[in-house]
Structure 1
């Protein structure tokens, strides 16, 4: 993990929200919201909320009396999230580090985290913080991406970048979003943080886009991979993005494209 892996700044939040959220995040957000609704919580904390796709799904799925707090390390991501939920009085947005949560012990019935724990520099510490703020019997519900080979658009873009920058290939995808998928490791880390009753499920979905250009822009320009590409200078970001689009088109065809995505969904008490 590097500092740049967590740099969701500049135009990244807008591109992430417009392209990457519908491409890969929305079905998993609805899945988490459905699981959390079944727990009938009164207070929900979301960490690594990003641009608020889970926040919106929870707002739609939970009764109006349920209070929600959405946090993220990156204030620009929360600013984007707020644009979707203006006037939602039961939701509080707050910049916060998931490894040092600014909340009292036993404050929440559920802690949720969508595709965020892979970015924690110390996952056991982050899990321990989630446990600290949970009430007795509360649930920590989160998901992580499976290995990159099971996420086809990301894999094609990653392989394309390995070829373009063969002397110094970017490793963001395998280091961060697709770098923490071993159920044995996840279960051990949760146990070290004091959790029990750990359930891990594999959940595949299909990812769809109107053209190959959309996932290419989403992955190259709407994630911290952008910083790795720009740091290399040549070829420039636009050229690399087009190369990724060409590779996706070659693999999945012209016009609308469709590929597999796969994550793990974890629940712990």
Structure 2
């Protein structure tokens, strides 16, 4: 993946996919590094051509997410960003569920600072997903509760199977979300619906999730993974530079007023227009509409 043109530094922060990590989470990093061999099995990477599949791999625990899993997710995602062969990432869950959310056994007994540091770990690594310079697709089946929904919402595209159910269940435990549930849900669905769901915590069925715009597609369970990978392959056929800066234009533009976003879009479009890929795309268009040659 090409580096941003020098003039883009006036528009985008350097390494914009990497949010800073507060120093106070050092204890979490040390704890997460204690058992590296076991940590590597918590999330698995599978390559399918230009698509990298990241599998949540605790099926016996309904893929309940531990702090170690969050660090493993960040590690694998950064590996995908550095791998020029990978164009799109798909996150899915082994077994019957996408993820039942955060591992409650891990949370028991934590003091206030430990709990806060764990939430920082969650937010840091989910922000890596959201800021990824390559598209990340969540393929959800079964339960996506609590942190499972938060992980899916951090992805750029969400698709699900007919069995999928989403829920920010924290309110039922007299808690509130700590991985972005109160912030991302109102940005993805109507505000009134977000309030109602966050205050009740009741599951959202797949059809309802599609109706409110939380997911793009609902497919039969047996077809979910293949169709999610096919969607990823279709995106992977697009020019990497155009994909990267389209995503940056959307993400950064949404953080400010419309006029700032329009200026950002104009600057990015002008720069991408000078790329080899854009020039090849234009040549292909005028040569009887042939497919552009991609490297």
TM-score under structure 1 length normalisation: 0.28
Bigger strand share = 1
Q: Which has the higher contact order (CA 8 A, sep 6+)?
A: 1
Bigger helix share = 2
